[in-house]
Amino acid sequence: MPEADTVWRVAQRLNTVLAGQPLRLVELRWPTAADIDLTGRSTLEVTRRAKHILHRIEGGWTLRTHLGLDGMWQVWRPTDMTPTSWHNPETRAVLGTDDWLCLGQRLRMVDVWRTSSEGEKLAHLGPDILAPDWNADVAASAAAALSAHGDTIGAAMLDQRPMSGVGTLWSAEVLFAYRTHPWLAARDVDPELVTEMVDWLRVMMLRSVEHPVPSVTGSQRRGERTYVHARSGHPCRRCGTIVRVQGIGPPTRQRPMFYCPTCQGGLAPGDRGGRLGPLGSRGR
């Protein structure tokens, strides 16, 4: 699932082509938004909070979209559009100006809100790891909330309530960087270490927004961008042990967690160290 750094880049691209321009075409192919007409209104800005893209529109409206696991926004010149792209059944939103056509495909969420209600609608989110007003006090609050979490430290990192914007890639990478077992109870992790991990995430994700794809290693070459994420079945770059993957979090909301048993203190619960299961080949 795209995380805050990737969503930042998407929002910036949309803002570049849409801000200040009237919407000549608006199609929201989503049951709860299909009857809302935003045609003719100008885009004020496209921004984001955590993993949510907020398209603020003249008249006090906000179009909220969420990319989910594999959603995307494509930006086209109208003259370059192909019939296949236009009639794609996976297209959930179409926004067009005189110069650009933006297609939201495989979106997980599409909603239209009054802009004044954004705070209420997103009140469940914790501090945004990439928020411009992030400071030492906010970081300390996020770290304290993670430390007090009632689940494992890996599940806490993925829970958007203590701190928002971090997903499977960055949670796996920060836990690997700090040699922390993802299935260790959050309350058993040294609070100072949690604070260091929060600071590391902020620095690394801010660095990531400057590049077309996230990279933890510094390499932009395919297959070389991470230490453990999406590398199950491959040798650990640090010690050579085979990287593993196992589901983490509440049973109904489990997410894949990639880890090195040697560097991070052992196998995950339920991982017998044998052949990798289905998650091992998915790389998500």
Task: Please say if 3 is a catalytic residue.
Answer: yes
Catalytic hit among 9, 48, 49, 51: 51
Active site residue 214: no
Report whether 257 contacts 245 (CB < 8 A).
Answer: yes
Active site residue 256: no
Q: Phi then psi for 152, rounded to 5 degrees?
A: -70, 165
Q: Which member of 92, 225, 255, 256 is catalytic?
A: 255
Indicate the DSSP class of residue 150. S
Q: Quick check: is 27 catalytic?
A: no
Whole-number Å distance between alpha carbons of 260 and 231 = 10
Burial of 84 (0-12, 13-18, 19+ CB in 10 A): exposed
Would you list the DSSP string of 212-226?
SS--SSS--STT-S-
User: Would you state the structure tokens that stand for residue 37, as one six-digit string?
Assistant: 């007409």
Contact predicate 211/220, CB 8 Å: yes
Which listed residue (2, 182, 214, 261) is catalytic?
2
Rounded CA separation 91/110 (Å): 11
Tell me, rounded to whole angstroms, the distance of Cα 18 from its chain centroid: 22
H or E stretch including 117?
Answer: none
Catalytic residue positions, numbered? 2-3, 51, 255
